[in-house]
Amino acid sequence: MGDRGNTAAWEKKKFLLSLVPLSLIPLFPLFGAYVPDEILIKWSEAPAASTWTIPGTGIAIFRVKTVGTGGWELWKLADHKKVETALPYVAAMAMGSGLHLSFVSSDLRAAKGSLQQMTNEDLTPLPPAITAYATNDYRYPFGRVPNDPMIASQWHLDAIRAYAGWDFEVGASNPVTIAVIDTGVDITHVELSSGTGKIWTNPGDPPGGGDQDANGKTDDCAGWDFADEDGDARDCLGHGTLVASVAAASTDNGTGVAGVNWKAKILPLKIFPDSGCNTADSADIVAAIDYAVWLSTAYVSSIGRMVINMSLGCPGAGECGSVCSDNDAEKDAISRALAHGVLVVAAKGNCGDSLRVVPSDYSGVIGVGAVNRTDSLASFSNYGSGADLVAPGSEIFGAAKGGGYSANSGTSFSAPQAAAAAGLILSVLPAATKAFQVNEAGALRHSFRL
């Protein structure tokens, strides 16, 4: 790849997806809670027996195991008592040795007073003596791991720290729909089947009844094919199927792969014609965007918040070096989407240069570049202006047209990770306002490791 330009500017752009909402969702704990009935103690003289009653309390604890080589032991409270009942007294004993505690309780003063009521004769001969501080035993979980058997092939999930993020949100809090403007989606695939509920279905226009919701589209019950003007949005190439599965494949169902957003619905919006399936035009892109916006207002309860993903761009990989002029109709449609609270995510392109790419470089669009397995900018990824975020884009594994699975590389498969992550935020914060939209790239940077 050629010169990337200013290194500092690139580093400023480089962000990995983390899925752990830190700044937007501060109510979530960042670490695992302490074990409720366990305590770590370091002794100068440990109890001879495996069970010990804390003086003056009647609280019995028993030894679980030695921890490391520093003299620490893990003890457990009998009868599943809460550790809060014992820690103040253990802490007070440690303070008697002049040692600092990492756990400070509001009951500490009372506990120390209780111990001081004992006579010197009672305290002096006590062989168990705590000379270091006691603290809670914290657990640091790997995260929530779905039971999809092929996740080992999805290296990007580990790279974006999806497992940790799923501890907090999988997209179930409030409905979110991801409109995939692409080559279509294989809705017969087990990962994306309408039968399993992954495809958004139009409640106002069930099949066979004509144009029941009077939107000019007969039987648009599971998306729409804008290139061929019909309700059959099945994939003509395979590109859109992989994109959709990366974003929101059926997850934790014991089959295949996992999507970044477990519960989001997919809305297939096909803009590439069955004949050739290699070029889309601006008219169909505009129509697809406006349709997604219309659905987001007409069917709020089932659509929820809408996110548009466009894993496409001009110039394409076969036209690298050329410059694509802005299209006012496309920009106008995107502005309407943003004004209606619809997020728009687009791939930054695969020419490995810093030239302008549309639609990712349009104002308000989240443009997504790609990194490889070493967390470096992928050789094919565009960068510079319009690259708001990056996400894994090399050898991304997911659903393939026809029912199988395959891997492919490109910013096309980085973008849906960002779209799905945005959907996770909107599932938790469904009332996010336009102010959030204006700063969507910054919000993702600070909320996720993208």
Per CATH, domain 7-29+145-447 is 3.40.190.80: no
284, exposed or middle or buried, with CB in 10 Å at 0-12, 13-18, 19+?
Answer: buried
Residues with Cβ within 8 Å of residue 174, at least 6 apart in sequence: 304, 305, 426, 427, 428, 430
pLDDT in tens, the chain (450 residues): 333 344 433 333 332 233 323 223 222 232 335 677 888 888 887 888 999 888 878 889 999 999 888 888 898 999 888 878 887 777 777 766 544 334 334 444 454 455 455 444 444 434 577 777 555 545 455 688 999 999 999 999 989 989 988 988 999 999 999 999 999 999 999 999 988 899 999 999 988 889 999 999 999 999 999 999 999 999 999 999 999 999 999 999 999 999 999 999 999 999 999 999 999 999 999 999 999 999 999 999 999 999 999 999 999 888 999 989 999 999 999 999 999 999 999 999 999 999 999 999 999 999 999 999 989 999 999 999 899 999 999 999 999 999 999 999 999 999 999 999 999 999 999 988 644 544 555 545 444 445
Active site residue 182: yes
Active site residue 156: no
- At 93 the pLDDT is 76
86, exposed or middle or buried, with CB in 10 Å at 0-12, 13-18, 19+?
Answer: buried
Q: CB 298: neighbour CB atoms within 10 A?
A: 13
Q: Which of 37, 137, 148, 182 is catalytic?
A: 182
Q: Which of 18, 296, 412, 427 is catalytic?
A: 412
- For residue 327, give the nearest of 361, 279, 364, 293 by alpha carbon: 361
- At 450 the pLDDT is 56
Active site residue 354: no
Domain ranges of the chain: 7-29+145-447, 38-130
Q: How far apart are CA 342 and CA 359, in angstroms?
A: 15
Q: Which of 194, 239, 354, 360 is catalytic?
A: 239
